[in-house]
Amino acid sequence: MTLETWNTFFAGVTLIVITTTAIIAIVQLRHLHDGNQLQGVLTVLDLLQDPGNRELLNFVRRDLRRAMGDPDFVAGLREVPIDRAKHPELYVCQLYEHIASYVRSGLIAEATFMQADWYDVSLYWAMLEPVIRVSREAPPPRPFIFENFEWLAAKAQRWIEKHPQGNYPKDVPRMIG
């Protein structure tokens, strides 16, 4: 074989090795991304199942509506800073603010999160929206507080509109009804 043939042969082998290495790197990056997504979802699940956070969520479910009928409670939302000892519901707002930030930045896939938690996002937004509204309008105006939570709630609403019959796979028989 001539020198040019050997050069062509080794150039081809080099191209194959580089291409194979690039494909392997892409596959590894996908696995790394999926692992990061899973870690993000597990972190959020841990946050939502934390006993302290469950108590805060229960406060919002059980007591917030009654508390919002108390003028002193509502007035406390206008203070700067707001006393979180008197307003534990703000920790729930902040919890969903952080979760929304993870989803919005792509650390957690939006579709994966919405498939599992669209209902709770929509529910807690509905219960906490009056708190957020008062907090935003209080002087000095704070129009941007909890905007990631608001974004997540808007995404949950879009999820509901996109899946009016739920998200159950059509090719799998239902177990109930």
Model pTM score: 0.79
Does residue 64 fall inside a structural domain? yes
Does residue 7 fall inside a structural domain? no
Tokens of 13: 């082998």
Residue type, 89: E
Residue (of 68, 64, 90) closest to 145 by Cα position? 90
Split at pLDDT 50, 70, 90, the class of 33 is low
Does residue 9 fall inside a structural domain? no
Domain that holds residue 41: 37-162
Does residue 1 fall inside a structural domain? no
The pLDDT tens digits for 65-109 are: 999 999 999 999 998 888 999 999 999 999 999 999 999 998 889
Tokens of 119: 């209902």
Using H for helix, E for strand and C for coil, what is the string for the chain?
CCHHHHHHHHHHHHHHHHHHHHHHHHHHHHHHHHHHHHHHHHHHHHHHHCHHHHHHHHHHHHCHHHHCCCHHHHHHCCCCCCCCCCCCHHHHHHHHHHHHHHHHCCCCCHHHHHHHHHHHHHHHHHHHHHHHHHHHHCCCCCCCCCHHHHHHHHHHHHHHHHCCCCCCCCCCCCCCC
CA atoms of 70 and 78, how far apart (whole Å): 13
Tokens of 61: 């479910």
Does residue 100 fall inside a structural domain? yes
Q: Please compute, for residue 111, the number of CA atoms within 13 A of its CA located in the half-sphere on the CB side.
A: 3
The region of weakest confidence among 4-13, 25-34, 80-89 is 25-34
Does residue 5 fall inside a structural domain? no
Does residue 137 fall inside a structural domain? yes
| Domain total of the chain | 1
The pLDDT tens digits for 111-130 are: 989 998 999 999 999 999 99
Does residue 80 fall inside a structural domain? yes
Chain centroid to Cα 113, Å, comes to 6
